[in-house]
Amino acid sequence: MTTSPMHDICARGPVIPVLTVDDPARAEPLARALVEGGLRVLEITLRTDTALEAIGIIARRVPDAIVGAGTLRTPEDVSRAAEAGARFGVSPGLTPALLARAQALDLPFMPGVATPSEAMAAAEHGYRLLKFFPAETCGGAAALSAWAAPLAGLGFCPTGGIGPRNASDYLRLANVTCIGGSWVAPQARIRAGDWSAIRECAAAAAALGAPR
């Protein structure tokens, strides 16, 4: 599989924590706990009004973290994420306008796909590393395994319904570069400021195995 800046980012660890931050004050200690646990690549979803602020805080104050923005749905989302300091972007889907904006800003970008046709469309635009979402609903590891031969040369980061129970099912696949999941830092622990528990969970996730 051809490598790219997005592939290089995702290849830094087996799991990308998918994070929803509703209080910017928690952004720095959350990022530090995850990095100390062994997970450097962090995705902050644009699902709250404070997400962009959280991205900026992590980008400035936690230099060992590689912070990106998730749930990018419009070209404006891509621009705002890049301005906030995001080093990569992730979308639940793909549109020509999204891809064009990411390319114009030279922002490493991972569009989301749920079917072979969508994966082929992303590949036509030059994208070889794709988010498979929602993974479990769309056939899970069995689906990705079946895609491997007909979609040779494409890599995936499955997200959606993945946790410690089934993470290894995905990570053992040759066409999976990493996985994404929110189980590493659940909302209840973030809001409680339980950084030691999040650090331990991150360490367990980091130990799941090196991605291919």
Alpha-helical (H) ranges within 15-158 are: 27-37, 51-61, 75-84, 96-104, 116-124, 140-147
Residues with active-site annotation = 43, 131
Residue 205's closest CA among 44, 20, 16, 58? 16
In the chain, the amino acid numbered 45 is T
Please say whether the dihedral angle defined by the alpha carbons of residues 43, 45, 46 and 52, taken in this order, is positive or negative: negative
The residue assigned the tokens 């090196």 is 210
CA angle, corner 179, sides to 38 and 150, nearest 5? 145
* Calpha distance 136→161 (Å, rounded): 5
The residues that bridge with 17 in the sheet, in sequence order, are 181
Residue 88's closest CA among 104, 73, 102? 102
